[in-house]
Structure 1
Amino acid sequence: MVRLAGRSRQNVQMHEGQNLAFLAAGNFLRGLGIDSQAEVNRVLDVAMNPNSLYAARNRKQPANPHARKLDVEADLRPVVEFLQAAGLSQEQAILVHPALLSYRVQERLQPFFEYLTGELGLSPQEAASVVQRRPSIVGVEVDGLRRMVAFLLESGNTKEQVVELMATSL
């Protein structure tokens, strides 16, 4: 009986921690200008719930494999600051692709933008435009994107055509 009580207490503490993280993240998003509680809930569900029903529609794989409990200072603020420094309207990008919040700057965002501006040769403004038009493109691993771009270029597409495809349909 004592073990059950201990587990219950532990489960309650875990849920309270998740609720506090959710509330803090919601306040942070409202500070960015996302005022609708329904939108805040949707964004946080996609970013923090690997089994989100919002993101899982018509998919056979997990909705967001990067989803996890997010901390405002350790996770959300660095992502938003990176997006802002890259020239994006972070509010709009987050509303369109909430999983952006669950990406880590050093592991996902920075390498992605470095690929666009380095290997692909886009200006920072062009890179921001691609991501602003289609924020979900950041969900593609850089190596996968590199292979797709190489194939499209080898198939006779110009760099401009490839960039347009990235922003609209890849």
Structure 2
Amino acid sequence: MMLQGRLARSGVARSSVAGPRCRRVAVVVRASGTGSGKAGVKEALGQLRQGLAGKPTVDPAYLNGASYLKTIGFTNQAEVARVLDIAMNPDSLFLSYGDGRRTKNASARKLDVDTDMRPVIDFLIEKGVGVGDVVKIVSGHPPVLSYSVPDRLAPFWDYMASIGVADVGAAVVARPSLLGLDVDANLRKIVEYLQYTETPPETIVQYICKSI
């Protein structure tokens, strides 16, 4: 049984950065060709690195987000740029399926540190996830920064515990992509189907944690 996301089929990815005089300039990257895709990723990284270095070329949301990620343990600028682009840019070139086809983070938007990002990190820590493992989770599944704690993360944690996952935090650290499962959109349906086919509870837990 396999879960498949919807593919992003647009041939052009767009992102915006602020110019030296605060005017908006569009960066257009063709995603159809391998060479142009690599060039686009390189260009995006260059722009974000300039912003991290203090040059006014990137939206303040990215700069504030980068500063915050550094306080929780991120040290590599390229990794910070990748994480923030996936979390905030709906057309990020960094997000793809395992076979290289592009997908999207449906929750991607400009994030505020105090309103969006910090509550996610605080929630993970409150659930017993160590700071080092929080970095691993965010790096492994950057969209988590754009998830709502009460609407997405808390229900996920509670539901995983309800089906018999003994340590939800450990399961997420081992496989951060689990956070991509939404209880109402897909996770509950998967579990209920397995229960309907009389799959043993321990097998369901193993399947959810290791196979999806």
Q: TM-score range by the shorter chain?
A: 0.7 to 0.9
Pick which of 42-51 and 17-26 moved more: 17-26
| DSSP-derived class of the 1:66 partner | coil
**Which residue of the partner structure matches residue 61 of structure 2?**
21
Larger fraction in strand: 2
User: Is residue 149 from structure 1 mapped to residue 160 from structure 2 by the alignment?
Assistant: no
**Which residue of the partner structure matches residue 202 of structure 2?**
160
Match of 1:53 among 67, 75, 93: 93
User: Is residue 85 from structure 1 mapped to residue 126 from structure 2 by the alignment?
Assistant: yes
Equivalent pair of 1:48/1:69 in contact (CA under 8 Å): yes
Task: State how far apart, in whole Å, the 1-side matches of 2:193 and 2:92 are.
Answer: 33
Letter in 2 for 1:28: Y
Shift of 1:156: 3.6
Task: State how far apart, in whole Å, the 2-side matches of 1:37 and 1:133 are.
Answer: 24
Equivalent pair of 1:130/1:163 in contact (CA under 8 Å): no
> Which consecutive unaligned segments of at least 5 residues does structure 2 have?
1-21, 27-55
1:1-170 alignment, distance < 5 Å: 12=23, 19-57=59-97, 58-59=100-101, 62-88=103-129, 89-117=133-161, 119-123=162-166, 126-143=167-184, 144-170=186-212
| DSSP-derived class of the 1:56 partner | coil
> Which consecutive unaligned segments of at least 5 residues does structure 1 have?
1-10
| DSSP-derived class of the 2:74 partner | coil
Letter in 2 for 1:66: S
Equivalent pair of 1:18/1:69 in contact (CA under 8 Å): no
Give the fraction of aligned pairs with identical amino acids, expressed as a percent.
38
User: Structure 1's 129 and 157: CA in aligned 2 closer, same or farther, altered over 3 A?
Assistant: farther
Letter in 1 for 2:210: T
Task: State how far apart, in whole Å, the 2-side matches of 1:158 and 1:24 are.
Answer: 47
**Which residue of the partner structure matches residue 3 of structure 2?**
none
Equivalent pair of 2:164/2:201 in contact (CA under 8 Å): no
Shift of 1:141: 1.7
Task: State how far apart, in whole Å, the 2-side matches of 1:47 and 1:19 are.
Answer: 14
Q: Which consecutive aligned stretches of 4+ in structure 1 deviate over 3 angstroms post-superposition?
A: 13-18, 56-60
User: Structure 1's 56 and 104: CA in aligned 2 closer, same or farther, altered over 3 A?
Assistant: same
